[in-house]
Structure 1
Amino acid sequence: MKISLIIPVYNEEQAMQACLANLALLNGEVEVIFADGGSTDSTLERIGDRHKVVHCQKGRASQMNQAAQVATGDVLWFSHCDSLLPPEGLNEIRNAVEQGVEFGCFHIGFDFHSIWMECNAFFSNLRVRVWRVAFGDQGIFMTRRLFEEHGGFPDLPLMEDLELSRQMKAKGVRLWLLPQVIVTSARRYEGRHPLFTMGKMFLLRCMYRMGMDIHTIARLYKDVR
């Protein structure tokens, strides 16, 4: 079983050293594809020729979908470059797929430890268990068959992970939560109290669920990052 790991990037030079070092720790064979949205910094130079790079139109959903078209894996695993993947993540996915899992993700943790971030991680993992909704920094994976049958990620400027989860749930496809932990960057919480950012992110998701224009929400989201 071949797994393709797809990582969308755009001007991520500061995160690339840790990302590449983390990839070297993965146990098992994997095809790594960086989907670049037109980086103007040294992101591509740092990747070099160690991994495949696909040049894409900027936009996380679009980048992941374009990279998936050239991926050769039976399973597609999507991650962020500021997320550290568990060394046994590939084996976890293989074992899950062999047992019939088609759609899943991992537990999440943060690289900054505080009571607020611990609560954030707890409720993020609870969200998967109870509402079957995963976010991109939890390392969503899908079988290629299901991905192609569904048509990939919804073509949205953001919330593509939320919408994908909702669509899968509507189809009766279960989202499985694997036991390994992905440690993701807390950089979006820097400079503000974590509760402020957590509250704003929750508000943006509520606005999306209520049907507000996604492009308006995207402009507000940029302020969070």
Structure 2
Amino acid sequence: MHSLPASSLAVIIPTLNEAGEIVACLRTLQPLRAAGTEVIVIDGSSQDDTVALAAPLATQVCVTEAGRARQMNAGARLSRARHLLFLHADTRLPPDADRRIAAALADRHHWGRFDSRLAGRHPLLPVIAAAMTLRSRLTGIATGDQALFMTREAFDAVGGFPDQPLMEDIEMSRRLKRLSRPACLRQRVVSSGRRWERHGAWRTIRLMWRLRWRYWRGASPEALAEAYRHVR
């Protein structure tokens, strides 16, 4: 992997078989890229056309071992930007995200996230998004759907994302909270509600709360990942 020239912000997108989403995601990032933001796609050895589709629209595309935490850490190592934003392929940023992030990280915060909206037809999606935002404000814990961002110094200070197969965003938030409370930006990212619509909203809510409860009680990420795969 070759290092990129230094910039203010890197958007790091971990992908795995995201051919259906990656072009739309990257097209929305072209204004940021034109303004100097690094757009880095870290693919976990997809079996579809994700890499080929991403290549013309990203600053750099790298293929590595699958695992979201490993992929995000690889993207951070590849970048030389002062600020890092970790974005899911099915999440869209609000306008002026780069300036909003820069302002938030200049104001006593080492890290932060956006409020969120879930796109889809299920009537529970607005309720789920509102609950996600409220929970995050009360606990200071953020999820990947909320587009976590942080300074390079904060990322390095906590050792990057923990190399675990599930709840890596929850554990990363725990570690970053030792540095500061998160900047909770009220501007919304828009994430796909496909997970809730595909597997059933109530079923997915119960599953995620059960897994989080077990995680807080000390269950290993490996055991939770295995339970998640079986239920899905």
Task: Indicate whether the TM-score tops 0.5.
Answer: yes
Q: Does the 8 Å CA contact 1:12/1:43 hold for their aligned counterparts?
A: yes
Spell out structure 1 runs of 4+ moving beyond 6 A: none
Structure 1 counterpart of 2:76: 68
- The structure 1 residue matched to 2:219, chosen from 182, 194, 212, is 212
Answer whether contact 1:110 1:117 (CA < 8 A) is retained.
Answer: yes
- In 1: Cα distance, 2:29 partner to 2:227 partner: 32
Q: Does 1:20 find its partner at 2:37? A: no
2:11 to 5, 20, 23: 5
In 2, are the aligned partners of 1:103 and 1:175 still within 8 Å (CA)?
Answer: yes
Does the CA contact (< 8 Å) of 2:109 and 2:180 recur in 1?
A: no
Q: Which amino acid aligns with 2:213?
A: C
Conserved 8 A contact 1:128-1:175: no
One of 194, 197, 207 as aligned partner of 2:204: 197
Instruction: Give the match's secondary structure for 2:39.
Output: strand
Displacement, 1:220? 2.2
RMSD: 1.7
Question: Who is 2:85 aligned against?
Answer: 77
The whole-number CA distance in structure 2 between the counterparts of 1:90 and 1:172 is 22
Q: Which moved more, 1:160-169 or 1:177-186?
A: 160-169
- In structure 2, what is the Cα distance between the partners aligned to 1:140 and 1:224? 27
AA in 2 matched with 1:78: F
- Gaps of at least 5 residues in structure 1 are none
Give the number of aligned pairs.
Answer: 224
State how far apart, in whole Å, the 2-side matches of 1:217 and 1:160 are. Answer: 12
Task: Give the distance between the partners of 1:146 and 1:92, measured in 2 at CA.
Answer: 18
What is aligned with 1:89? 97
**Residue number in structure 1 paired with 2:155:** 147
| Long gaps (5+) in structure 2 | 1-6
Q: Partner of 2:202: helix, strand, or coil?
A: helix
Partner residue, 1:222: 229
Q: CA-to-partner distance for each residue in 1:87-140, whole Å, 9 max, x for gaps?
A: 211111011122232110000101115441111111111112110000011010
Give TM-score scaled by structure 1 length: 0.93
1:33 to 29, 32, 40: 40
SS at match of 1:81: coil
- Within the candidate set 171, 182, 187, 1:175 is matched to 182
Identity %: 37
- 8 Å contact from structure 1 (residues 112, 186) kept in 2: yes
Correspondence for 2:144 among 132, 136, 148 = 136
Distance 1:71 1:102 in 2: 18
Q: Cα 1:114–1:41, aligned 2, differ >3 Å: closer, same or farther?
A: closer
Q: TM-score, normalization: structure 2?
A: 0.90
